[in-house]
Amino acid sequence: MKILRIISSMNPRSGGPSEGIRQLAVHMQASGHVTECLTADAADADWLAGQPLTIHALGPGRSGYAYCPAMGGWLRSHAHEYDAIIVSGLWQYHGLMARKVLTRLGIPYHVMPHGMLDPWFKHTYPLKHLKKWLYWPWAEYRVLRDAQTVIFTCEEERLLARESFWLYQCNERVTAYGTDTPPQDKERLQNVFLAQYPQLSGKRLILFLSRIHVKKGCDLLIEAFASIAAQYSDAHLLMAGPDQTGWQRELEQLAQALGIADRISWPGMLTGDMKWGAFHSSEVFCLPSHQENFGIVVAEALACGKPVLISNKVNIWREIEADRAGWVNEDSIKGTQSGLQSWLGSSVQQREEMSANAVACFNNRFRIDRVAVRLLEIINNNA
């Protein structure tokens, strides 16, 4: 099968959806399924070199809407070459363009919203939501309505999507989502990471690995850590991820004011061995997000045997709680503090049991071979 994924950007810095597509494409390639991407990325972007799948980058797209008219012409010429077409993400040009082109050609398509219908956005950004309402009836509503299926990555996402707009109609399906099994040569990866950050050797590392963004609850984590740091002198917070909005400086000032600036490290975006080395060098993973559709990085942490401290706004929190693969709390300072305290105050035996639970949770729910099977069932209209 030859699959086309249409997405605004495949830049690795753009977050989980692009990484999920990338990993799934590599896995499916081994089974004879080819995946290509159509994007509004700049054709000369540095990161395009060495990508594991073909990316037709026709941008750069203009404005935050990523308007890229060249995508329409390309799709009209090449859509018939693919066995399935999946639109990833909403609220940008690529979705509306895909609907117009594909419906005129009589070619079915699927949509993966990736959490972009979560009502959190409505409550947090009411003016933006009003703008979306003006756009919704003649654009995104129709993109979803006319799709063969709208594919959600967990049951929680499907239920939340119904709360954002009253004019809502689509053929819903739910698939697992996840990641490939990461490198398991733990000792080598730890050595790679700690050679770069020797000052972290011997520390009880609490890892945050995601975008430095207000949605991710970074400030909650810093304030919660400050409230318990004195009790655990060997605990250290590792805040890894790209600073997309320039918020990091303010967070560093917050840490300074709270007296814990020397207890936090900011390595920036980590990839490859450095990323996996950070996972394997840490005791636990923490993501107190205010909104998180799936959180592929949560699945990566579980795959590395790392229990997760997450908020109940991470949409797979029910699965984590059921499998006892971490602690789930409110997305607040108090909730985040409770999770940190539960982990840091636990016994060695409790930590070992939860680490084993984390691996089992990943293998049973989020391993990428399960994801591939379910996705193929949906796009082949067998589910």
Number of CB atoms found within 10 A of residue 321's CB: 14
Residue 383 has a pLDDT of 53
Domains with residue ranges and CATH for the chain: 2-179+368-379 (3.40.50.2000), 186-366 (3.40.50.2000)
Are residues 215 and 116 in contact, defined by beta-carbon separation less than 8 angstroms?
no
CA distance readout (Å), 270 to 103, 196, 206, 277:
41, 12, 15, 9
Here the contacts of 164-169 (C-beta below 8 Å, separation 24 or greater) are 164/117, 164/118, 164/119, 164/121, 164/122, 165/117, 165/133, 165/136, 165/141, 167/136, 167/137, 167/141, 168/141, 168/144, 169/141, 169/144, 169/145
Residue 156 has a pLDDT of 87
Tell me the one-letter amino acid at 52.
Answer: P
Each of the 383 residues of the chain gets a pLDDT tens digit; together they read 999 999 999 998 877 789 889 989 998 998 899 999 999 999 999 999 989 999 999 999 999 899 999 999 999 999 999 999 999 999 999 999 999 999 999 999 999 999 888 887 887 878 888 888 888 999 999 999 999 999 998 888 898 899 888 889 999 999 878 888 899 899 999 999 999 999 999 999 999 999 999 999 999 999 999 999 999 999 999 999 999 899 999 999 999 999 999 999 999 999 999 999 999 999 999 999 998 888 889 999 999 999 999 999 998 999 999 999 999 999 999 999 999 999 999 999 999 999 999 999 999 999 988 889 889 999 988 55
Q: pTM for this one?
A: 0.81
